[in-house]
Structure 1
């Protein structure tokens, strides 16, 4: 439960509090990023007494979040310990502080702002055009700095040219005295300044800003939610940043700790895209499960296992410290497990999110992971998650169920929900065309795992061959040939017509009929023995006779059945083998009437193939 108040506060008071350190930023706030145009637009709005939005602050003792001063504030601001934290309004308040209070050039853009007094009094001139930036020496030059256009480097030159410095807006009297002395005998000029003060200066001095102030009872979860709701124009707040700020208040440097762990984990190519929030979710799983296990004999309701955002925000620093090393080992074991499943790169991961419960499960198993029974259970669970396509959304709730249920299953309990929820249909496998699909990537990995060997070399796609030979997924019936035969793209671009091959082998195949490229392989130097070649094809679930006869539809039906056998074996679940469309009907579809090729298919493949040369150089680091 939290309470808040809403009060108007003068702009000058707010800016003074920023300078004194009475208003600071919570450490999770990102840096000030506004550009010259947005600052000038904000100042123009204030000068016309237009509303520029409310601020939101949090009353905090500094024990929950580590505060930092507004950018550009003097060092004395850092010494203030009792501050209100600015949740919404950082960009506006920092911009105004730098332009109106700070007696130095505005950082980043290195300018001073001036009001052109005459233009600001002319209603036909856009107010933004009356606000002029000058370089840090206050001299405007042209011709590569050779010619002076306007010099405002002294107060007297400001008076002479009727330019008012914005950082004197709240100290107008002292500047006005100098102006009157300078134009002592010129009443029209003095009247111009009087009009400027009434129209422009007084707008700033009277300006009130609505401030919503949250009290100290506001929870961390509410702070995070409120921050995201009111910062809709910026990037969503990452839970890691908020937790970093909370842990800093306890004296623990989470960002530095994570940087060291990330460097160790990202030596594994499959873990390249591990995010700090992934690691925190793993910590939340281990911590909440430990809490639940500790309450096993209690009459009270056992706490849930959770990896939701709220669970992350409720993590005590002690939980992180207690579980981080074990979880890091779990992630390393997860990478090694993925290698055994022929998943070597993060690009080839069916689901990035599934690594989180995988790492938590392996961390929880400890040395038991070396036994075959837990490995078999984890393999089955993993492939059910992939081919059941169960990690595409609302994954956090499945994380928790999987951790509890898979560990219980290994101990002799019931099958996990992920296994029960898995249902694979032949029609779904047939329609897979996007390289971004989890099941698409899963089929590719299963083929390599099941012993698929290269058509040309007969090599197994182990870790070394995969990178050294630039293995990727390619068409079996080449696209050029398929298009010449007027075959529909929704068939020839299906995963059923694709398989992992080395880059050199794919170039050898070219765009000709399979019968021709098989003959090319058998007559190459060195030649591939026809009997061996048939064995290589069968290792890819390909019927050699169908390929040699250029029988696309017969090949397609038989290969689909072979891929389903692989999936059945991996998931321990029989696929629903619905009847495929008649070959004649499929052949009658003109390719122009079929869906266009998924752009991810070729664009991503091109990007990855370009990177494979670098992959080979990194191989020695992973071995």
Structure 2
């Protein structure tokens, strides 16, 4: 590992000069400047007094062979320290930075040469400070090439009669000395793998932050201006931000003329009117889907290597491989962003019953499903009318089995290769035969419902099955599950929690099992209170013949039985009490599993 990196120091002035010249690229891994102004002030304060400010980490991109036998030198990329360097650029060089809303803003740090004792001489500029002659409003003027210390000190003394010229001059000199302060820098060699770079980053980064493979990919993209990488990076960022905040389009259209002239603008514009939140991708999602679809691989470390021009067979780096890889990634990102693709895919999820982000499973499963959608649309062996159905089935299967939960890159990579080799339908049939056997439906699936988490795949698919079937909530006729799934307040205990705690002192792990959950109107839940299930279910049945329908609006006993069946309530519920609770859970898990199976097979 020691041969993988070296340690050196740069002055603050040298770092800013290397950034300005482009010798070190800031890939904006963390993209908008997320530090608040007080952290910028604190950094300047630390440099002023000579306190350590942590290491920067740079990674040299490999040199690549180009046609004609020449070599293009790889650019050095800053992979840790972007916020610190951006803060220095803002405060000392006077450059505007992007805030969290992607608006270009100045961060001005004021300096008071007349500070006393332990007082900090720095402050974030405010209107009050700006009017105080003791404060210099913007320290950036001290680091401008044409700054004249003699003229400045004389002007300051004139504005602050009685101050000591020697003190003012000495402190201005100390302030300007920030430019010569040394910053430690870990220089990682081009030959290091992403895993080795990540290990160095984690060991050095005291905040315990972790760089993802997507971070490295974004740094590679942003640093490659020759392939339009910075604009591609920006397009990915904007798209993801718009997915969450459609109103952000106004900021883009008014403030980024360069982007508005690019090919990406019209691919993003449709999001300004989009209110759907079942799949709000981040840059990791965009890169993964585009990469899987265009390259047939699942490991983002491979994308970084390919964008670097890596020839896996020759074990060197070639310009034509980098050229082809950027072109393919560009095409994949465009396909991801295209309105017709994105909306058609999310419509497939909705029509399968996944109508709320609250029941959308792991991002890995969604990403693979979107990749599969894009891939099957171009597969002549799969009729276009069947694409959504296959995508729905694969998504539900992957959620139920946890196929892409946890560390899933290797599984995605293997699945993509197998689909390429075998064709999707033969591979799908093979997976279903091995993963969704009768034993899975009758034993493993009910067992997976022994949990208190509503984020488990089996519960989310169960709710999706109710949405797809247009099921009513318990005791109602017309109050749909689909209308309340986004509100966790409408999930209630069939065996009331207070009843179980009072009668059998049930622990949380028992009374909060998801097999005890159902969607129920709050007014009905209030009416139930702490009643024994057998009691209030009987009251619900008796209320059918009464004028008072406080337990719901079901008009016939047949409707009640159908409602109980739709909500997987065992037939014996009318006689059940605390002693029957664990038996009830076992029965309901089986009924829920049967409903899930019927739903899956209907897709």
Establish whether TM, by shorter chain, passes 0.5: yes
The residue aligned with 1:588 is none
The residue aligned with 2:458 is 439
The residue aligned with 1:532 is 559
Matched, 1:399 2:417: no
> 2 CA distance for matches of 1:61 and 1:312?
11
Matched, 1:425 2:425: no
Matched, 1:110 2:108: yes
> 1 CA distance for matches of 2:334 and 2:168?
68
What secondary structure is seen at the aligned counterpart in 1 of 2:26? Answer: strand
The residue aligned with 1:72 is none
The residue aligned with 2:540 is 517
Matched, 1:281 2:285: no
The residue aligned with 1:175 is 150
In the TM superposition, residue 394 of structure 1 has moved relative to its aligned partner by: 1.0
> 2 CA distance for matches of 1:443 and 1:58?
47
Larger Cα-atom Rg:
1
Deviation per CA, 1:582-614: give whole Å up to 9, x if none. xxxxxxxxxxxxxxxxxxxxxxxxxxxxxxxxx
Matched, 1:339 2:316: no
Give ranges in structure 2 of 5+ residues lacking alignment. 65-72, 97-104, 240-266, 308-324
Normalised TM-score (structure 1): 0.63
The within-5 A match list for 1:148-159 is: 150-151=133-134
Aligned with residue 563 of structure 1, among 592, 595, 599? 592
Q: In structure 2, do the counterparts of structure 1 residues 243 and 472 end up closer, same or farther at CA, with 3 Å as the change threshold?
A: farther
Q: In structure 2, do the counterparts of structure 1 residues 171 and 192 end up closer, same or farther at CA, with 3 Å as the change threshold?
A: farther
Aligned with residue 399 of structure 2, among 386, 394, 403? 386
> 1 CA distance for matches of 2:95 and 2:539?
79
What secondary structure is seen at the aligned counterpart in 1 of 2:295? Answer: helix
Q: In structure 2, do the counterparts of structure 1 residues 46 and 539 end up closer, same or farther at CA, with 3 Å as the change threshold?
A: closer
Aligned with residue 486 of structure 1, among 488, 504, 519? 504
Aligned with residue 516 of structure 2, among 497, 521, 532? 497
Deviation per CA, 1:147-193: give whole Å up to 9, x if none. xx755689xxxxxxxxx99927999984399669989xxxx967767
Whether the 8 Å contact between 2:353 and 2:467 is mirrored in structure 1 is: yes
> 2 CA distance for matches of 1:452 and 1:502?
14
What secondary structure is seen at the aligned counterpart in 1 of 2:573? Answer: helix
The residue aligned with 1:364 is 375
Q: In structure 2, do the counterparts of structure 1 residues 152 and 338 end up closer, same or farther at CA, with 3 Å as the change threshold?
A: closer
Whether the 8 Å contact between 1:448 and 1:500 is mirrored in structure 2 is: no
Deviation per CA, 1:339-380: give whole Å up to 9, x if none. 343221121123332112222223333376558988776666
Q: In structure 2, do the counterparts of structure 1 residues 357 and 153 end up closer, same or farther at CA, with 3 Å as the change threshold?
A: closer
Whether the 8 Å contact between 2:59 and 2:188 is mirrored in structure 1 is: yes
What secondary structure is seen at the aligned counterpart in 1 of 2:363? Answer: coil
Whether the 8 Å contact between 1:451 and 1:539 is mirrored in structure 2 is: no
What secondary structure is seen at the aligned counterpart in 1 of 2:560? Answer: helix
> 1 CA distance for matches of 2:136 and 2:452?
66
> 2 CA distance for matches of 1:451 and 1:514?
22
What secondary structure is seen at the aligned counterpart in 1 of 2:110? Answer: strand
Q: Indicate the larger mover: 483-492 or 130-139.
A: 130-139
What secondary structure is seen at the aligned counterpart in 1 of 2:539? Answer: helix
The residue aligned with 2:303 is 311
Whether the 8 Å contact between 1:385 and 1:391 is mirrored in structure 2 is: yes
> 2 CA distance for matches of 1:227 and 1:89?
11
Q: Indicate the larger mover: 350-359 or 423-432.
A: 423-432
> 1 CA distance for matches of 2:95 and 2:334?
49
Count matched residues.
510
The within-5 A match list for 1:291-310 is: 305-310=297-302
Aligned with residue 219 of structure 2, among 242, 245, 269? 242
The residue aligned with 1:603 is none
Deviation per CA, 1:98-119: give whole Å up to 9, x if none. 5556599xx75534313337x4
Aligned with residue 573 of structure 2, among 534, 540, 546? 546
The residue aligned with 2:235 is 256
What secondary structure is seen at the aligned counterpart in 2 of 1:271? Answer: coil
Q: Indicate the larger mover: 410-419 or 276-285.
A: 410-419
Q: In structure 2, do the counterparts of structure 1 residues 476 and 109 end up closer, same or farther at CA, with 3 Å as the change threshold?
A: same
Give ranges in structure 1 of 5+ residues lacking alignment. 64-80, 120-124, 142-148, 155-163, 290-304, 573-623
What secondary structure is seen at the aligned counterpart in 2 of 1:477? Answer: coil
> 1 CA distance for matches of 2:354 and 2:525?
20
Whether the 8 Å contact between 1:243 and 1:313 is mirrored in structure 2 is: no
In the TM superposition, residue 284 of structure 1 has moved relative to its aligned partner by: 1.6
Q: In structure 2, do the counterparts of structure 1 residues 243 and 95 end up closer, same or farther at CA, with 3 Å as the change threshold?
A: closer
> 2 CA distance for matches of 1:459 and 1:136?
58
Deviation per CA, 1:386-414: give whole Å up to 9, x if none. 33333320122222334455684754458
Q: In structure 2, do the counterparts of structure 1 residues 369 and 34 end up closer, same or farther at CA, with 3 Å as the change threshold?
A: same
Whether the 8 Å contact between 2:490 and 2:519 is mirrored in structure 1 is: yes
Q: In structure 2, do the counterparts of structure 1 residues 419 and 167 end up closer, same or farther at CA, with 3 Å as the change threshold?
A: farther
> 2 CA distance for matches of 1:17 and 1:221?
27
The residue aligned with 2:494 is 476
Q: Indicate the larger mover: 336-345 or 451-460.
A: 451-460
In the TM superposition, residue 441 of structure 1 has moved relative to its aligned partner by: 1.8
What secondary structure is seen at the aligned counterpart in 2 of 1:474? Answer: strand
